[in-house]
Amino acid sequence: MSASSAESRGFFAYYREYARSGVHGASAAALTAFGLIASYTGNRAFILLAIAVYVLPPIFLYLTGEGERVPSVVDDESTDGAADGNEPEHDRPSESPEAATEDESADQRGSADADSATTQTGADANADVSDPTTADSSGTDPAETDPADAAEADSTDSGLGPDETSSDSGSLADDIGAADATGDEDGWTTVETPTDEPLTGVVATHDGVFVVGENGVVLARGADGWEIVLEHGPSADDQSLRDVDATDDGRAIWFAGDGGALGRYDVEESHLTDHSAPEDQTSTWTAIAIVDSTGEEHVHLANGSGEVLRGTYDDGDVDWGEIHKPGSGSSITDLAFDTDVGYACDSSQGVYATTDGGASYETIGIEDANTDFAALAATDAELVVAGGDGTVFRYDGSVWTTLRAGETALRAIDLTDETGLAAGDAGDVFEHADGGWEAVETPTDADLRGILVGAARRGRPDVAVGADGTIVERDRN
């Protein structure tokens, strides 16, 4: 490891590894020895020597890159992540690395997670949501069924999840070019992108993964890496895009954003249709959810005024219905729908459910949340809401449970029956495992705004996107 690569990783990330090394143990012992000599002799030179032998080695190793070759002397199972990156992901502790001290055991930290979970009753326990169904939040797949498996199982594409086609099941570096991939922490890799615009949402389709961002940029992931599909948005006016979703068969995507921006992109035909300012609404669309297959899609839009607009697409046009306001008017930050069942969350601790396709909503929580909500996702077993204080709220149809993921704000979340991912500020990513959310290391400190759980059997990676055009991926093969 070169000095420049060590510096790009960050000193504190490096120091966590150094603190588990034999060099650190030896310098700590020398510090103690010279400190004792100084206390008995009163010679200040030993004090300076003690400080030098403790402080200088990590600085020297960090600047020269030699620290990469210093072996760890701590058992991998008792640390926050294996030094070689080969730790099974479900064996990592549920606490974030910053929340646990170096000498805690894995069992102690697991117990701390269990103790941190508290149970709350929903604001409306009688709401007809005892069977939360597959939903698609900002940049997420329909969660009950793996999109790739669903598309393969039923060629009629009726209500099925999207899939990314792949010519082979090779590694991530093979797919995008080894020269374009940098960094590797817990399997996550930073990949080269053709933009430095902040990216806000990600979704899987029948033909790959798509990402949207500010100033109207839309990217697609192909066999040779990421490329720009749209550079200036659906109206070519550089309006920023805030969210993206795909039809159930993954053959079309919709994206929405500032100034009423709304577009439909046919993935197979590479054709864009501008549907901006529906019903003359030019406010910022903060969330979008799409239900049903291409050509028959139902569109749900939410804005910063707490309003939801729904429409039905037919032969190139959209028949828009009435505007509804589920809550008090606070900005709705995310939507998730599957057929007639859907959910919305807002910035004022409100979560709302509908069982009639958005014709009406009722409040289902969350009392005493004490944080804003940025995103949600669902399967038929649970609904999860990401909080601005690093908390994930889980709903089983009658009871809310609070789980602490980390200390930084969460901005995106995705969920399947098998796993889930949440992302937020400072490059933080958390994985749903063993009933909790565990921190995983990524090679970026960029604020992340979108996350997608990949499909291992189809070669589709986990993807997280965020500031400065950042995209990090993790190969699930």
Q: Is 342 within 8 Å of 357 (Cβ atoms)? A: yes
Q: Is the dihedral of CA 198, 240, 219, 454 positive or negative?
A: positive
Give me 175's structure tokens: 């797919």
For the ranges 39-53, 59-73, 298-312, 435-449, the lowest mean pLDDT is seen at: 59-73
Q: Are residues 205 and 91 in the same domain?
A: no
**Of residues 297, 260, 52, the one with CA closest to residue 158:** 297
Mean pLDDT for all residues in the chain: 77
Give the DSSP H/E element, type plus range, for residue 203: strand 199-205
Q: How high is the pLDDT of residue 94? A: 35
Mean per-residue pLDDT for 453-473? 93
pLDDT at 42: 72
Domain count along the chain: 2
Q: Give the mean pLDDT of 351-378.
A: 95
Based on the domain organization, do 140 and 102 belong to the same domain?
no
Per-residue pLDDT, averaged over 153-158, amounts to 35
Instruction: Please report which helix (H) or strand (E) contains residue 218, including its range.
Output: strand 218-222
Residue 464 has pLDDT above 60, yes or no: yes
Polymer length of the chain: 477
Q: In this structure, are 151 and 33 located in the same domain?
A: no
Model confidence at 107: pLDDT above 90: no
Q: What is the pLDDT of residue 54?
A: 75
What's 175's domain CATH number?
A: 2.130.10.10
- Do residues 71 and 173 share a domain? no
What is the predicted pLDDT for the residue at 51?
82
Last residue of a domain, one of 61, 83, 116: 116
- The residue among 65, 84, 116 that closes a domain is 116
Cα–Cα distance, 92 to 99 (Å, whole number): 13
Answer yes or no: do 107 and 165 share one domain. no
pLDDT digits (tens, 9 = 90+) for 258-301: 999 999 999 999 999 999 999 999 999 999 999 999 999 999 99
113-151 pLDDT, tens digit each: 434 434 343 334 333 333 443 334 333 443 344 434 443
- pLDDT at residue 119, as a whole number: 39
Q: What is the mean pLDDT of residues 198-223?
A: 95
**Range with lowest mean pLDDT among 94-98, 334-338, 348-352:** 94-98
pLDDT given for residue 85 in this prediction: 37
Q: Same domain, yes or no, for 299 and 427?
A: yes
Confidence label for 250 from pLDDT (cuts 50, 70 and 90): very high
Instruction: Write the pLDDT tens digit of every residue in 367-399.
Output: 899 999 999 999 988 999 999 999 999 999 999
Instruction: Pick the range with the lowest mean pLDDT from 160-174, 198-212, 246-260, 440-454.
Output: 160-174
Q: What domain range includes position 94?
A: 3-116
Residues 162, 239 within the same domain: yes
Among residues 90, 116, 142, which one ends one of the domains? Answer: 116
Do residues 53 and 152 share a domain? no
The per-residue pLDDT for 14 is: 57
Residue 149, amino acid: D
The pLDDT, as a whole number, for residue 62 is: 62
